[in-house]
Amino acid sequence: MTSVLIAAESWASSAVAAAADATRAVKAGADVLLIAATRGRRPATLPFEPSDFGPADPPSAAAQADALYVPAPALTDLPFLARAGETGRALWLDTAMSTQAEVEEALACLVGARARVTLVHGVATAPARADELNLLAIRTLRETFALPVGFRAADAPPAACAAAVACGATVLIVPVDGEAASLPSVVADARCVAEALGDGLKRPQASEWALRDRRQVSLVARVAIPRGAVLTPDMLTTAPPGLGLKPRALDAVVGRRAAVDIPGGTLLTPGMVE
């Protein structure tokens, strides 16, 4: 099953406000609180908080965070990125406003920290326009750089957040304020989509097996077939349930002899033919 980490983005300007946002984030089902304005103050109720720190801040400004969120304007500040990479923390690298070449250049600067990088696709302007979200870029980034990719767009439609998860986003950054009333539904939809994506292997699901057995058909004796008789197509038909030989076995069965007496209406099984 695909998993998605939900980060509730807070622009609280005090520790008290940040704690209130953390409570709202927990109630909505978010995993972490991303604090943009308070430089890494940590509510104890959440596992960790990425910190949004600007190019003027030394990496030590967010040293207590388990992950560092590098905002979009800092992506082209290569000396700053190098310092951020030296912290040893996981890095969420926002790629909004950037070209693919600039993303490649930033990752080259973070070569020693690449294994800890999650790219974040999004739109810097708010509210985000649907025609500018370019969600397929999530797949492009993931396939090009072989890194996990998240999604962040200020006030993006809830449907776009769910669609981002469907496109492969493993991190979803959602504002905790502004559109806060929709946060629980955004979280619920994202979780539902992540679960619904599954593992990509085409196979019957656990709930389908009983129905499959009832609804599929098997080869059935159209008439009574005595032991030793050579089976011909006119002796056979198909009918549910699907617990006997499948119709695809018809060519293999025709021309063989009945190993036992087969009453009319009986589902054929492998032991009935020689």
Q: What is the pLDDT of residues 126-138, one digit of tens each?
A: 888 889 999 999 9
pLDDT for the residue numbered 18: 74
pLDDT for the residue numbered 177: 67
Alpha-carbon distance of 152 to 173, in angstroms, equals: 5
pLDDT for the residue numbered 262: 97
Listed as ranges, residues in the chain with pLDDT below 70 are: 1-2, 13, 35-66, 177-181
Handedness of CA 152, 154, 156, 162 (dihedral sign): positive
DSSP symbols for 157-191 = -HHHHHHHHHTT-SEEEEESSSSGGGHHHHHHHHH
Residue 162 to residues 25, 56, 170, 196, Cα–Cα distance (Å)? 18, 34, 11, 11
pLDDT for the residue numbered 44: 27
Specify the 3-state DSSP secondary structure of 233: helix
pLDDT for the residue numbered 20: 82
CATH 3.20.20.70 location in the chain? 5-197
Radius of gyration of the chain (CA): 29
* Contacts of residue 108, Cβ cutoff 8 Å, sequence gap at least 6: none
Alpha-carbon distance of 220 to 222, in angstroms, equals: 6
Residue 196 to residues 137, 185, 230, 260, Cα–Cα distance (Å)? 21, 16, 49, 47
* Contacts of residue 251, Cβ cutoff 8 Å, sequence gap at least 6: none
Domain 206-272 has CATH 3.90.1210.10: yes
DSSP symbols for 21-32 = HHHHHHHHT-SE
- Name the nearest CA neighbour of 166 among 135, 187, 124: 135
- pTM across the whole model: 0.75
CATH 3.90.1210.10 location in the chain? 206-272
Q: In this structure, which amino acid lies at residue 272?
A: M
Alpha-carbon distance of 274 to 259, in angstroms, equals: 5
Q: In this structure, which amino acid lies at residue 8?
A: A
Say which CATH topology domain 5-197 has: TIM Barrel (3.20.20)
